[in-house]
Amino acid sequence: MAKIELQAIRKTFDSTEILKGIDLAIEDGEFVALIGPSGCGKSTLLRIIAGLEPQSSGEVRIDGAQVDGIRPSARNLAMVFQSYALYPHLSVFDNIAVPLRMRRHSTLARMPLVGRLHPARAATERGIREEVERVAAQLELSGFLKRKPGQLSGGQRQRVAVGRAIVRQPVGFLFDEPLSNLDAKLRVHMRAELAQLHRQLRATFVYVTHDQAEAMTMSSRIAVMIEGHIVQVGTPAEVYDNPQDIRVAEFVGSPKINALPGVIREDGGVEVLGWPLGLSTPAAAGRCSVCVRPERMELSSGPSAISGTVLHLENLGAEAFVHIKVERIEMPLLARISPDRQLPAIGSAIQFGFSTTAVRIFDAAGKRIEVTAAARSERIREKAVG
């Protein structure tokens, strides 16, 4: 098992810089998810770790040893691809056996016909059979060993790809959006299976995805990549609760975080739509974004801080989303509420507020601003009511 370190990795494709200096240390046995919008360079970074793509500058170290110029298979990392990349002409057994055969048979023994006459071949082949069968049993594939990938369902193909990865007992696993070709229900199921696999193998997992739900549910740490930079690294809870950049706040969490236009006054107080929030900041005066997660929005029937009209309702059974149109804010705001209570009618006027602890404030450049509760700490809702 291995520690993977990335130092100042840069990658340029024909004058376009895809990766702009990536530093990341992945500890032994850790499950790190690389997430980010498409085109942020996360797959390129994974391919650089695997050795399928050379970096333009910077270093990759596995267990302290620099691996630049070392072939992918010699790095002893396994990779699971989005398309699974199973060899369609080989049976499930042969697909899983490929990495072992490549490593253990000499070139001569792999020859089409002559190979069968090779003296050591039979013994090696017996060993390979045992290991493939063990892995197949572990992944519940024993009944499908003779089938071709084309005769399997999406989830089974996924498991064959995982089998091909674990059979060689690599020091680390690289996953490139492995669940995005599955339907929603199966994806949830495979999420649990992969997390369990990680606990079982205790191997280092690097997992690339654009689906923040996968990252949140499986990984021990998340690295959020945006436009070629790692903007924030932290546990799922940290990244969700304490985003250091407005792009992180907006990318992580579904539905998206609400951003309200705010102003930092000369005295350090923060206002949103003319209402003082009761927070103060040492940051320079100017415009800012005041962000609140949908579940922290508090609707009230009585008069409250901010008023708007209900634009749309989504009742998902376990939760409901109220889309609220507020004057002077272009995008409708979202509030997540329990459907147990009476849902407001579409088109009706509504008031809402939020606790000061729910607020995350970002400056005009999108960086997080630290705020402290002002001396006269009170909730905006109470203030309005009072």
Partner 1 sequence: MADALTATTILAGRGAAAVTPARDNSRSWPALAMVAPAIVLMGLLLLGPLLGVIALSFTDYQLGSPRFAWIGFANYEEMLADRVFWISLRNTLTYVAIVVPTAVALGLAVALLIESGSSLRAWYRTIYFLPVMATLIAMSIVWEFMLHPQFGLVNGLLHSVGLEGRSWLQDRGTALYALCVIGVWQALGFNMVLFLAGLVSIPRPLYDAAEIDGAHGAWARFRLVTWPMLGPTTVFVVVITGIRSFQVFDTVHVLTKGGPSKSSEVLIHTMYIEGFEFFRSGYGAALTVVFLVFVLLLTLVKSSLANRGVHYA
- Residue nearer to partner 1 on the CB measure, 49 or 231: 49
d(CA 311, CA 303): 19
Binding to partner 1, residues 305-334 (CB under 8 A): none
- Residue nearer to partner 1 on the CB measure, 90 or 299: 90
Size of the site for partner 1 (CB under 8 A): 28
Contact 62, 4 (CB under 8 A): yes
Q: Tell me how far, at minimum, the Cβ of 199 lies from partner 1, in Å.
A: 24
Binding to partner 1, residues 128-187 (CB under 8 A): 148, 164, 168
Q: Tokens 């696999």 correspond to what residue?
A: 197
The interaxial angle of helices 154-166 and 92-104, nearest 10 deg, is 20
- By CB under 8 A, tell whether 343 contacts partner 1: no
Q: Which residues pair with 224 in a beta bridge?
A: 35, 232
- Whether omega for the bond prior to residue 261 falls within 30 degrees of 0, making it cis, is no
Q: Tell me how far, at minimum, the Cβ of 103 lies from partner 1, in Å.
A: 5
Q: Tell me how far, at minimum, the Cβ of 51 lies from partner 1, in Å.
A: 8
Residue 134, SS3 per DSSP:
helix
d(CA 332, CA 348): 14
The residue within the footprint of partner 1, chosen from 81, 169, 186, 383 (CB under 8 A), is 81
- By CB under 8 A, tell whether 69 contacts partner 1: no
The residue within the footprint of partner 1, chosen from 4, 40, 78, 252 (CB under 8 A), is 78
Three-class HEC string of 238-303? HHHHCCCEHHHHHHCCCCCCEEEEEEECCCCEEEECCEEEEEECCCCCEEEEEEECHHHCEEECCC
Single-letter amino acid, residue 81: F
Tell me, residue by residue from 11 to 50, as one string, x for binding to partner 1 by CB under 8 A and - for no binding. ------------------------------------x--x
d(CA 98, CA 138): 18
Q: Tell me how far, at minimum, the Cβ of 137 lies from partner 1, in Å.
A: 21
- By CB under 8 A, tell whether 110 contacts partner 1: yes
Residues that bind partner 1 (CB under 8 A): 47, 50, 52, 71-73, 77-79, 81-83, 85-90, 98-99, 102-103, 107, 110, 112, 148, 164, 168
